[in-house]
Amino acid sequence: MEKGKVTVKQRTQTGKGAARRLRSEGLVPGVCYGATMKEPMPVIVNVKELKASLDPIKRTNSVLEVSIEGENSQTVTAMVRDFQIDHIRQEVTHVDFVAVDTNKHLVTTVPVETSGKAKGTTLGGVLKLAAKEVKISVKPLEIPNKFVIDITNLDIGEAIKVGDIDLPEGVSLVTSPHQSLILCEASRASAAVATEAAAAAAAAG
């Protein structure tokens, strides 16, 4: 996996007034911190450039080479830990970067998608996605884009659990392997028909 690249500037001014001035210029305040840094460093971020540096599939699981310009200039390997959003304007207002060691495992979440058509749905079952993502432990540059689960053989009353995921080498689960991911449940109509059939069989017996 290749690293994205983004340049930010060391931030010396703080407070709401300084943040407003930055946003008027298309910039936002941020901070970079983590195990490979001596102390947290306030930074100025160009949100448009940051978004362009992110892998379009991995998004915040992207690993970035962040060049910090300023008095304490340095380059760190980091990931976006958090975006703060103005929900009225739908604009990013603050960015947190966390510096990472690419040789050490970290904990992150990866989305889950399904492929195929569950056998149970052709018999009146209803597919239910119990979780949209799972938490894993992995080295930053080995984070999977997603987990694709084949549901073709999933029948009514059956479930696929987190532990059924075929994990790549070097990836381990943090989410419980016993947690259900995908279920195929009987619809109300098919359940009612099954109940009536059972009742009729009992009466005939």
pLDDT in tens, the chain (205 residues): 679 999 999 998 877 888 888 888 889 999 999 988 889 999 999 999 999 999 999 999 999 999 999 998 999 999 999 988 988 888 899 999 999 999 999 999 999 999 999 999 999 999 999 999 999 999 999 999 999 999 999 999 999 999 999 999 999 999 999 999 999 999 865 554 445 544 445 556 5
CATH 2.40.240.10 corresponds to the domain 4-99: yes
- Sorted by where each begins, the domain ranges of the chain are 4-99, 106-199
CATH 2.40.370.10 corresponds to the domain 106-199: no
Assign residue 203 a region (left: φ > 0; alpha: ψ between -120 and 50; beta: otherwise).
alpha
Separation of alpha carbons 92 and 84, rounded Å: 6
Separation of alpha carbons 52 and 66, rounded Å: 13
Rg of the chain over Cα atoms, rounded to whole angstroms, equals 24
